[in-house]
Amino acid sequence: MFTYILRRVLSSIPVLVGILFVTFALARMIPGDPCRAILGEKATDAVCDEFIHRHGLDKPIPVQFGIYLSEISHGDFGDSIRYGKPVTELMIERLPTTLELTIAAMTFSIIIGIPMGIISAVRHNSVVDVVTMLVANTGVSMPVFWLGLMLAYIFALVLKDTPFQLPPSGRLSPGLSPAPFVEVWGWEITSKGLVNAFEFLSNMNIVNAVLTGRMDVLLDALKHILLPAIAVGTIPLALIARMTRSSMLDVLGQDYVRTARAKGLPRSRVVLKHALRNALLPLVTIIGLSLGSFLGGAVLTETIFGLSGVGRILFDAISARDYGIVQSFTVVIAIFFVFINLLVDISYIYLDPRVRLE
Amino acid sequence: MAEVEIKIAKLEAEGLSTGKPVTLWRTAWRRLFRRKSAILGMIILGLLVLVAIFADVLAPYDPYQVLIGVEDVRMRQDPCIHLLGCPEDQPQHLMGTDGNVRDMFSRLLFGARLSLMIGFTTVSFAIVIGTVLGALSGYLGGWVDIVIMRVMDVLLAFPSLLLAIAIVTILGPGIENALLAIGIVSIPAYARVTRASVLTVKQMEFVDASRSLGGGTAYILFGRILPNSLTPLIVQGTLGIATAILDAAALSFLGLGAQPPTPEWGTMLSAERNQVFTAPHLVFYPGLAIMLTVLSFNLLGDGMRDALDPRLAQKGE
């Protein structure tokens, strides 16, 4: 079991180095002079010389890569000229919004997708099955930003003044500005790392509301996140539903399922206990892998719903050609993505006893 | 001679096989046509191809023409359809006019051309490179395999849309760079699929036979093994077109792909996104067009996967 974990951890190291190398190489491919690409066209020669020297851009490429690695391992992503602060600080501000949206979307797609898939598999070829698969196929084919815009239109305008009206933008209603839980609890923290970590946590409104016990804020935050979460979650939902269905169909045809039925167990128990547990294995992998789709969706959807997360900052950085921000956020998200998939692999130890014997 | 033919006809009438070989492709076609969803996909795709080819004939207006001063229309006018009661003296605009007073319907029709072009070029690019890499990796093995597949792992480690965004930000926005970026991020999928099937096929006896007859590596790999590993690639390619079109629309939506005034669906949607509450039709139709196109490739790809699956063939389905 430990060799299994060790092997997985070790095998993700070359991938991590590869990710860092790709983003490093991309930054070096910026056409023209790197200093003016990062500092802007108006940077003077003196400023540029100083900048190039400070970041080691006058050194050989392998040395530059070394400098880049050591900077990133210290959590130093440089400064953003546009925002006038370190990129790390921007991440603490922006990542929580995106993460919160991603988790909400994931919850939505799992809660709806898995039962949809189970029902389709159990009632194979019935009307329910056909309709579910049609909905799933349409779901995978929708552009996420279009779905977001249409949802905003329907729930904010068409359903206006009905109980189903939902806010189309923002994270909280105006006027609500909850204090971070660290302040509420009266903690005094001096360690810089802890301050950042707690700030990151309290920037997730839902987590902060739960920790500070503000029910009104929690409800308001949930209401605001619903539309974007549905928009982001629909494509993965369709994938999850399809995957659950085919995986369940596979398992339901197995001998042990027939045996379980033959010895007189109720159908619901056979489906939910014997079959589902085994069908879940490939699903966990799919959910881990579709995290990329969630994150991509969040990036596209945030601008529509007026959320200032990673998507918003990337959108602005792209228009302003702020390569540093695009590069740093790509690295962080890719590393996060590798980490989650590593966790998925390791979770197999609990999900699949056969892995333990490997 | 005539006797033999009569005999064959008799045998056929009795439902017996006369030994005519049944190829995989023939059975696959037959099974594909038995699936309603695949047929639906083919119909939508067929219509789209027709629209793309005959866009010049079908479109009532020039997609780039600004209609100010030409007709009595306003900016972002609601759809005016004569059959549905729009006054005859008003010019007909099936989907209204956009923010620059151009006919939305004509722009949408021309968008089909671009969208299909995007799908086919990116996937062809990715298939060619991915297949060569995957085939070399699977056939040669050893360090070639390790190096190629590690690089593919790294590319797969990025959420694909983010990597595409990063690439286009560096290369500069524009349709060509967007296509290149989407092509690059989809290479690993094809490389993996090809490698897996080459690994299976290269164990087969006909490959040994070919080698003992003196076939060179390149001939065996590209002339004998690859043609026999095509089926999974075709399925992956069809589904890949769907993803490529979606990703290209996303890049255009972010302003990184096709630039205005090009009639590209993602770009059109992006231009009118702030008008969703005042002129929802300008957002609705381009998105619907993207969805239908992507749906047709998805349905067709799923159908092909089932039709080409040899396990299903043996069950006689």
Question: Please, which pLDDT band fits residue A358 given cuts at 50, 70 and 90?
Answer: low
Residues in a beta bridge with B97: B103
Q: Does A338 touch chain B (CB under 8 A)?
A: yes
Rounded Cα gap, residues A286 and A106, in angstroms? 12
Q: Cβ of A137 and B299 within 8 Å? A: yes
Q: Which DSSP helix (H) or strand (E) runs through A19?
A: helix A2-28
Nearest to B166 by CA among A168, A348, A299: A299
- Among residues B192, B183, B187, the alpha carbon closest in space to that of B134 is found at B192
Q: Give me B167's structure tokens.
A: 């690439």
Query: How confident is the model at residue B131, as a pLDDT?
Result: 93
Return the number of other C-beta atoms located less than 10 Å from residue A209's C-beta.
Answer: 23
**Which ranges constitute the DSSP H helices of B55-103?**
55-58
**What is the predicted pLDDT for the residue at A344?**
82
pLDDT: which is higher, A215 or B132: B132
**Which of B45, B146, B158, B284 to probe by mutation at the A interface, max A CB count within 10 Å?**
B158
> Would you call A80 helix, strand, or coil by DSSP?
strand
Q: Kindly tell me the burial class for residue A184, based on how many C-beta atoms sit within 10 Å of its own C-beta (0-12, 13-18, 19 or more).
A: middle
A&B contacts, CB < 8 Å: 146
Q: To the nearest whole number, what is the mean pLDDT of chain A?
A: 83
- Two tokens, residue A167: 């806010």
Tens of pLDDT, residues A105-164: 999 999 999 999 999 988 888 888 888 888 888 888 999 999 999 998 998 888 888 777
Contact A203, A93 (CB under 8 A): yes
CB of A225 closer than 8 Å to CB of A173: no
Predicted confidence (pLDDT) per residue in B289-305, tens digit: 999 999 999 999 888 88
**Cα separation of B67 and B73, whole Å?**
7
Collapsed DSSP state (helix, strand, coil) of residue A5: helix
Residue A272 per-residue DSSP state = I
Question: What is the reported pLDDT for B7?
Answer: 65
As a whole number of Å, the end-to-end CA separation of chain B is 36
Torsion of CA A162, A166, A167, A171, to 10 degrees: 150
CA-based diameter of chain B, in Å?
79
pLDDT tens, position by position, A254-287:
888 888 888 888 888 888 888 888 888 888 888 8
- Mean of the pLDDT values across residues B216-229? 84
Residues of chain A positioned with their CB less than 8 A from the CB of B169: 317-318, 321, 323, 326
**What ranges in B1-103 are assigned the alpha helix state H?**
2-13, 24-33, 36-53, 55-58
Give me the helix-helix angle, B160-171 and A291-302, nearest 10°: 50
Give the pair of three-digit tokens for residue B267: 């770009």
pLDDT at residue number B187:
94
Q: Which residues of A34-60 are buried (b: 16+ CB within 10 A; e: fewer)?
A: bbebbbeeebeeeebeebeeebebeee
pLDDT of amino acid B133: 94
Partner B, chain A 81-100, Cβ-Cβ below 8 Å? none
pTM of the model: 0.85
Contact B94, B267 (CB under 8 A): no
The tokens describing A84, both together, are 């006038």
Q: Is the pLDDT of residue B17 over 60?
A: no
Q: Are B98 and B104 in contact (CB under 8 A)?
A: yes
Would you state the pLDDT for residue B19? 59
The residue of A16, A82, A141, A153 whose CB has the most chain B CBs within 10 angstroms, and thus the best one to mutate to test that interface, is: A141
Residue B294 touches chain A, beta carbons under 8 Å = yes
> Is the link from the previous residue into B261 a cis peptide, with omega within 30 of 0?
yes
Nearest Cβ partner for B269 among A14, A146, A326: A146
Judged by CB atoms within 8 Å, which residues 197-226 of B form the interface with A? none
pLDDT at B317: 40
Record: contact B276-A29, CB cut-off 8 A: no
> Considering CB atoms only, which of A137, A138, A300 is closest to B253?
A300
Residues of A in contact with B242 (CB under 8 A): 140-141
* CA-based nearest distance B19→chain A, Å: 35
Q: Which of A100, A106, A103 is nearest to A234 (CA)?
A: A106
| Three-state DSSP class for residue A29 | coil
Under an 8 A CB cutoff, do A137 and B155 touch? no
Q: Which tens digit of pLDDT belongs to each residue from B193-206?
A: 999 889 888 888 88
Nearest residue on chain B to A326, judged by CA atoms?
Answer: B166
Q: At what angle do helices A215-252 and A87-122 cross, to 10 degrees?
A: 50
Q: Does the complex come out with an ipTM higher than 0.85?
A: no
Determine the pLDDT at residue B248.
Answer: 92
Question: What is residue B229's DSSP assignment?
Answer: G
State mean pLDDT over B52-67: 84
Instruction: Tell me the CA distances in angstroms from B23 to B19, B207, B317, one per residue in order.
Output: 12, 20, 15
For residues A292 and A332, what is the distance between their CA atoms, to the nearest angstrom?
Answer: 13
- Please give the pLDDT value at position A42: 72
**Six-digit token string for A152:** 């905003």
Mean pLDDT of chain B: 84
What region does B214 belong to: left with phi over 0, alpha with psi -120 to 50, or beta?
Answer: left
Q: Which residues contact A104 (CB under 8 A, 6 or more apart)?
A: A206, A225, A226, A228, A229, A233
Beta-carbon contacts of residue A258 (< 8 Å; ≥ 6 apart): none
The per-residue pLDDT for B14 is 59
Strand partners, A76: none
Average pLDDT over residues A88-97: 86
Considering chain B, what percentage of its residues have pLDDT values greater than 90?
A: 29
Residue B316 confidence class, pLDDT cut points 50, 70, 90:
very low
- Mean pLDDT of the region B262-286: 88
Provide the pLDDT for residue B126: 94
| pLDDT at residue B313 tops 60 | no
Chain A closest-CA separation from residue B309 CA (Å): 15
Q: Running DSSP on this structure, what letter comes out for residue B275?
A: G
Distance CA A52, CA A60 (A): 12
**Could you tell me the pLDDT band of residue A179, with boundaries at 50, 70 and 90?**
confident
Give residue-wise pLDDT tens across range A284-319: 888 887 887 788 888 888 888 888 888 888 877 777
In the prediction, which pLDDT does B136 show?
Answer: 92
Question: Using an 8 Å Cβ cutoff, are B139 and B225 in contact?
Answer: yes
Query: Is a pLDDT exceeding 90 seen at residue A209?
Result: no
For A110, other C-beta atoms within 10 Å of its C-beta total 17
Which backbone phi and psi does B276 adopt, to 5 degrees?
Answer: -60, -30
Q: Using alpha carbons, select from A17, A345, A72, A288 the residue that is nearest to residue B150.
A: A17
Tokens of A7: 């092997």
| CA B268/CA B112 separation, integer angstroms | 12
Bigger pLDDT: A62 vs A170 = A62
Q: Does B162 touch chain A (CB under 8 A)?
A: yes
Nearest to A146 among B155, B169, B287 (CB): B287
Q: Give the pLDDT band of residue A28 (cuts 50, 70, 90).
A: confident
Query: Chain A, 196-255: which have a CB under 8 Å from a chain B CB?
Result: none
Q: Which of residues 17-76 of A touch B (CB under 8 A)?
A: 18-19, 21-23, 26-27, 29-31
User: DSSP characters for A125-158?
Assistant: TSHHHHHHHHHHHHHHHS-HHHHHHHHHHIIIII
User: In whole angstroms, what is the distance from residue B291 CA to residue B115 CA?
Assistant: 11
Instruction: Report pLDDT digits (tens) over B134-173.
Output: 999 998 888 999 899 988 988 888 888 888 988 888 888 8
Q: What residues contact residue A281 under an 8 Å CB cut-off, 6+ apart?
A: A247, A348, A351, A352
Reported as a pLDDT band with limits 50, 70 and 90, residue B315 is very low
B98-132 pLDDT per residue, tens: 877 788 888 999 999 999 999 999 999 999 999 99
Interacting residues of B255 by C-beta distance below 8 A, sequence separation 6+? A318, A319, B173, B270
Nearest CA in chain A to B248: A143
